[in-house]
């Protein structure tokens, strides 16, 4: 069974060789192209791009330095420049938002990186959350409202964003989790042709889940169908289940079926379709003073349940942090965002990732840093899952009280680097002059 730290490590596969190959393909690090629609600019961003491009052009004319943060003299709004050598990536829950409300320092931190800082610079940033259950556009609208700042889908990845890539592989899929019909809508928006929900199965056979009754709204939206003619090719847990007992019963039924036909049962229990989770965070941070269990706990529970019922191991696959594919995706998103919105055409040297969960945010950032070209620098904040006084299982490079401290640290560190680089040149020049003057031994 998988534990909190065990995800990302494929184990003995229960799946058929064909399915195992598919599962393996998506189980480890995978590069996924950011969805095209996420790259599309809104009108406001086109305007922003044009303004940025014009400003960059101006900056290039007045700057004699290439390839380093163009630091303007402090600090009027006219003098704002954009840092092109480093960038920021933020987790959301426990970093910017907690229990549906902005964390107190979030707004000032975002103002700080948008130019209200002693250096007069703006720093490009993206959001990488394991959460989901809504379309990317809807989540960005929520975030914009919560933070009182426009957030574009072009700077946003959520746990299930990479599942879009699976729509070409699987035609008929069971989608689990989230509120009402929202995840069906997300999946259909991703291009899945035939999306079934647990509600469809319960409406068709009400005795599937003896203790769960659909609400009037759920009943109205759910679709009766002939499951003897339906082959479920894959199961996707898009967001947190609202009814663990019912959803686990239905997932188990599909897993134990012959090739995803719900009216059948495999003798060997190894003929069912693969199951994918949009992330594997066992706990997450809400308004409650203690962390709450999440999708990773459902995953562990399902694997334990499967073993108890069938005596066999269940191999499941999770997306999201700390999977390296998520960080590769983030790298691409950041490149697009910096290019489209800030007219920066080179990769950043350093990306600071700010998160609250050692097992996903910090682990993923540290592991990705081992192979990535850019330096990915992990910062742990104390406003979410991580609690002061405990020893994080995956240690960050830096721990900060909250997001404002984190962004101040990142920018100060970069500016200190710049200053050091500058002083090295000065020292070298001084040394050469001293050498020429015969003041130093040759």
Question: Where along the sequence are the contacts to Mg ion (CB under 5 A)?
Answer: 91, 93-94, 356-357
- C-beta of residue 98 within 8 angstroms of C-beta of residue 131: no
In the bound state with Mg ion, the residue whose beta carbon lies nearer, of 232 and 297, is 297
Tokens for 183, please give them.
Answer: 């995840």
Shortest reach from residue 295's CB to Mg ion, in Å: 13
Q: Are 140 and 132 within 8 A, CB to CB?
A: no
Look at residues 3, 101, 4 and name the one whose alpha carbon lies nearest to residue 357.
Answer: 4
| Minimum CB distance to Mg ion smaller for 8 or for 69 | 8
Rounded to whole angstroms, the maximal C-alpha distance in the chain is 95
92/262 with CB nearer Mg ion:
92
Nearer to Mg ion, 94 or 120 (CB): 94
Distance CA 238, CA 182 (A): 10
CA distance 162 to 132: 12
Phi first, then psi: give them for residue 55, nearest 5 degrees: -65, -40
Residue whose CB is less far from Mg ion, 158 or 300: 158
- Least Å from the CB of residue 318 to Mg ion: 15
CB of 140 to Mg ion, least distance (A): 17
Residue with tokens 């696959």: 317
In the complex, least distance from residue 76 CB atom to Mg ion, rounded to whole angstroms: 36
Those residues whose C-beta lies under 8 Å from the C-beta of residue 112, and which sit 6 or more positions away, are 404, 407, 408, 411
For the bound state, the minimum distance from the C-beta of residue 309 to Mg ion, rounded and expressed in Å, comes to 32
Q: Which is nearer to Mg ion, 157 or 175 (CB)?
A: 157
Closest contact distance (angstroms) between CB of 333 and Mg ion is 18
Determine which helix (DSSP H) or strand (DSSP E) holds 189, and give its type and residue range. helix 182-189
Backbone angles phi, psi at 400, to 5 degrees: -125, 160
Please tell me whether residue 217 adopts helix, strand or coil conformation.
Answer: helix
**Closer CB to Mg ion, 136 or 233, in the complex:** 136
What's the min distance (Å) between Cβ of 88 and Mg ion? 15
CB 158 to Mg ion: min, Å: 12
**Run of H or E including 196:** strand 194-196
In 3D space, the residue among 98, 155, 153, 162 whose CA is nearest the CA of residue 130 turns out to be 162
Q: Which CB sits closer to Mg ion, 91 or 414?
A: 91
Give the integer Cα–Cα distance in Å for 136 and 160: 9
Q: CB-wise, 249 or 285, nearer to Mg ion?
A: 285
Please give the structure tokens belonging to residue 54: 């014009």
- For residue 49, give both structure tokens: 């791009």
Report residue 299: phi and psi, to 5°. Answer: -60, -50
Nearest-approach distance from CB 357 to Mg ion, in angstroms: 5
By Cβ distance, which residue is nearest to Mg ion? 94
CA distance 253 to 261: 9
């Amino acid at each position: 069974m998988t534990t909190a730290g065990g995800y990302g490590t494929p184990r003995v596969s229960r799946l058929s060789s064909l399915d195992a190959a598919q599962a393996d393909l998506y189980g480890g690090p995978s590069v996924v192209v950011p969805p095209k629609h996420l790259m599309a600019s809104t009108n406001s961003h086109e305007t922003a791009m044009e303004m940025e491009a014009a400003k960059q052009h101006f900056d290039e004319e007045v700057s004699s330095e290439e390839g380093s943060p163009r630091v303007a003299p402090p600090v009027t709004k006219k003098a704002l420049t954009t840092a092109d050598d480093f960038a920021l990536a933020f987790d959301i829950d426990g970093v910017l938002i907690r229990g549906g409300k902005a964390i107190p320092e979030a707004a000032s931190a975002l103002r700080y990186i948008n130019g209200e800082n002693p250096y007069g610079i703006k720093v490009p940033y993206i959001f990488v959350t394991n959460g989901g259950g809504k379309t990317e556009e809807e989540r960005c609208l929520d975030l914009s409202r919560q933070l009182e700042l426009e957030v574009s889908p072009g700077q946003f990845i959520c746990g299930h964003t990479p599942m879009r890539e699976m729509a070409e592989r699987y035609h008929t899929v069971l989608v689990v989790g989230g509120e009402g019909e929202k995840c069906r809508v997300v999946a259909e928006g991703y291009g899945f042709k035939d999306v079934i929900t647990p509600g469809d199965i319960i409406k068709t056979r009400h005795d599937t889940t003896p203790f769960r009754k659909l609400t009037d709204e759920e009943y109205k939206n759910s679709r009766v169908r002939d499951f003897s003619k339906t082959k479920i090719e894959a199961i996707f847990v898009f967001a947190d289940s609202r009814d663990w007992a019912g959803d686990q019963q239905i997932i188990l039924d599909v897993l134990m079926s012959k090739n995803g036909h719900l009216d059948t049962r495999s003798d060997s229990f190894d003929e069912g379709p693969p199951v994918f989770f949009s992330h594997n965070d066992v706990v997450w941070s809400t308004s409650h003073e203690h962390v709450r269990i999440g999708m990773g706990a459902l995953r562990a529970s399902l694997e334990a349940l499967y073993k108890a019922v069938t005596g066999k191991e269940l191999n499941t696959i999770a997306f999201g942090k700390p999977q390296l594919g998520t960080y590769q995706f983030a790298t691409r998103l950041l490149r697009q965002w910096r290019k489209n919105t800030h007219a920066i055409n080179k990769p950043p040297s350093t990306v600071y990732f700010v998160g609250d969960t050692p097992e996903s945010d910090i682990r993923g950032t540290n592991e990705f840093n081992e192979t990535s070209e850019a330096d990915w620098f992990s910062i742990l904040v104390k406003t979410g899952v991580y609690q002061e006084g405990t020893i994080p299982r995956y240690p960050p490079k830096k721990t900060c009280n909250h997001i404002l401290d984190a962004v101040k640290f990142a920018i100060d560190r970069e500016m200190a680097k710049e200053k050091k680089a500058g002083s090295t040149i000065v020292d070298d020049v001084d040394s050469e002059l001293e050498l020429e003057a015969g003041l130093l031994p040759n």
